[in-house]
Amino acid sequence: MTFTDRTKDPRALRHWYGDIEADYVYTSGVAGERFFRELRDHGRLLGTRCGECGKRWIPPKLFCEDCFREVSEFVDLPATGRVAAACAVRVDIERNPLPQAVVWGLVRFKGFEGGLVHRLLIAPERGRAGLVVRPVLRDAASRTGAITDLEGFAP
Ligand SMILES: [Zn+2]
């Protein structure tokens, strides 16, 4: 049986294990460029707002997913967000124990679609949905225009 033959039995498919080298470079795009410049130069977190339906997004988008209009209005995020999900990471990518657990979370902002996944600057046992957090930025002189200009979120 080949891959293109139809089957409902996954054991009937031929397969082999291997590695395929696949490198990608993703650009941040026009909206992402502005997001990172504002973060680096002014310490602001920006989303976008659709002028037609009023929906707002973080990360910022240039086209509305609902009404397909071009979006050109950038708006500040609220000063605080709320953790929607949290996870304590205790091993590195090679499964070696980390000296200290790192907490990651999805932070959502009131009135915005989407959110930001980033470090939560808290002890692992404090990581929970519903926690109100604020962004913590690096010193202005050390910012590079990357998401790491945001150190994370703290209560
Ligand atoms: Zn819209």
Read off the pLDDT of residues 76-135 as tens digits, 9 standing for 90 and up.
999 999 999 999 999 998 999 999 999 999 999 999 999 999 999 999 999 999 999 999
Any idea of the CA torsion for 9, 14, 19, 22, to the nearest 10 degrees? -80
How far away, in angstroms, is 52 Cα from ligand 1 center? 5
How far away, in angstroms, is 64 Cα from ligand 1 center? 5
How far away, in angstroms, is 93 Cα from ligand 1 center? 40
Q: Residue 61: which CATH number?
A: 2.40.50.140
Is the pTM of the predicted complex or chain greater than 0.75?
A: yes
Residue 7 included in any domain: no
Of 102, 108, 96, which is closest to residue 127 (Cα–Cα)? 102
Report the domain count for the chain. 1
How far away, in angstroms, is 96 Cα from ligand 1 center? 46
Residue 17 included in any domain: no
How far away, in angstroms, is 3 Cα from ligand 1 center? 41
3-state secondary structure of 137: strand
How far away, in angstroms, is 109 Cα from ligand 1 center? 18
Residue 86 included in any domain: yes
pLDDT band at 6 (very low <50, low <70, confident <90, very high): confident
